[in-house]
Each structure stands twice: as structure tokens, then as C-alpha cells.
Amino acid sequence: MIQSNGSFTINNVIVKEVYPANISNYGNLTLDGVAIGGDITQGINIGTVFPGQTKTITYQARVAQAQNFSFGTTTILDLVTISSTDSNFLPTTVSPVSILVSKSGVLGASTASTGLTNYFWVDSFFLPLALALLGIWLYRSKFIGVPSWVGSIQLKNKETSAQKELQNKIAMIRKEETK
């Protein structure tokens, strides 16, 4: 927004944008709501500004991609200059616009393993199948001592059953002898 606070008419007022690094022109330049041609970075002539008159210039700029900024908040100062060919024009200080760019992200691991191989079919079907087949093969090839272990347990169970049966028969014989 440009406003004439003096008592003079200013002719050939030129407004120029000086984009800092990581800012570029995007266009959509308007003067008092009306689209105009030109490039704000080259300077545009907004014509005459009368005493007390205000002119509004709008345009769009584009901020660079995220990889051009470091993590955290970066402040970019955007400067506009105003000039005129009139001798009665006194340059004024234009306050720079502060543009705050915040870049954040996930700190730490950006990928996480979801299984042994990260392939759903391998992890959920083929690996369990392969492990089951390997176990069956090891059992049948008697590589694992499971059959002998099972056999020894069965033998102990038979011995225990025979011992109990023998003790029961001895107890019955003793009962009959005491009668």
C-alpha cells in the first residue's frame, strides 16, 4: 500500500520488489484490485499519486522448496523500494516484510522394519511354511532326538504302570492271606 502524505502530486511512481534468496516471483500483479502487466522485480510504474491518495499493489511470491531451508524457523526479509522521477519526491523508508519459514520433520528413524524381510507374503506365509517343513524333515530324519526322547518317556510310563499294577496285585494277595 502506497500513500502520499505530502502536499505534492508525485508523477511516475515506480515500485520495485527486491526478492531475497529462496523467494521468486509468482505473478498475479494488481493495482487497486485491477490486474496489470509487468514484473514487480523489474519495477512497475503506478503512475501519479495525488496528495492523500492511497494505491494498493498486490502480487504473489513463491517460497523455495523445503530442502533449501534448515530445520527450525528461518526469517527472510523482503524489501520493496519506491522511487519517482519528480524532483519534489522524498524517498521514504519502507519497512521490510518478514517472512517466517518453518521446517520441521521426524527426528530419528524414518523407516521402521515391520518384519524379517519387509515383504508381507514372505514374512507371513513362506517363512512359517519353510520353518514347519524344516521341522518335519528334521523329525523324520531323526536328526533331532525327539523320537528317542518320546520313546524314553513312553518306556518310563509303561514301567510306572507296571509297578503300580504289581503293587496292587501284591496288596490283594496280602489281603487274602490275612483273611
The reported pLDDT for the residue numbered 106 is 62
Phi, psi of 57 (to 5 degrees): -115, 130
Which residue range forms the structural domain that includes residue 25? 2-103
Per-residue pLDDT at 121 exceeds 80:
no
The reported pLDDT for the residue numbered 153 is 83
The reported pLDDT for the residue numbered 166 is 92
In this prediction, what percent of the chain has a pLDDT beyond 70?
A: 87
One domain for residues 24 and 85: yes
Output the DSSP codes for 80-96.
Answer: EEEEES-TT------PP
One domain for residues 79 and 128: no
**Contact predicate 79/94, CB 8 Å:** yes
One domain for residues 86 and 128: no
Per-residue pLDDT at 169 exceeds 70:
yes
* Final residue before a domain boundary, out of 76, 103, 130: 103
Query: Considering the domain boundaries, does residue 110 fall inside one?
Result: no
Per-residue pLDDT at 109 exceeds 60:
no
One domain for residues 60 and 131: no
Query: Considering the domain boundaries, does residue 72 fall inside one?
Result: yes
Range of weakest confidence among 6-15, 36-45, 75-84, 134-143? 134-143
Number of domains in the chain: 2
* Final residue before a domain boundary, out of 41, 71, 103: 103
Query: Considering the domain boundaries, does residue 112 fall inside one?
Result: no
Query: Considering the domain boundaries, does residue 114 fall inside one?
Result: no
One domain for residues 76 and 129: no
The reported pLDDT for the residue numbered 90 is 77
Per-residue pLDDT at 154 exceeds 70:
yes
DSSP code for 111: -
One domain for residues 23 and 95: yes
The reported pLDDT for the residue numbered 127 is 80
One domain for residues 7 and 95: yes
Domain at 60, CATH number: 2.60.40
Q: Which position has the higher pLDDT, 136 or 3?
A: 136
Greatest alpha-carbon span in the chain: 146
pTM: predicted TM-score of the whole model, two decimal places: 0.53
The reported pLDDT for the residue numbered 164 is 92
- Dump pLDDT digits (tens) for 43-99: 999 999 898 899 998 888 888 888 888 888 888 888 888 888 888 777 776 777 788
Q: Which position has the higher pLDDT, 111 or 126?
A: 126
The C-alpha cell that represents 147 in the structure block: 523320537
Residues listed for the chain: 179
Helix (H, G, I), strand (E, B) or coil at 22: coil
One domain for residues 38 and 96: yes
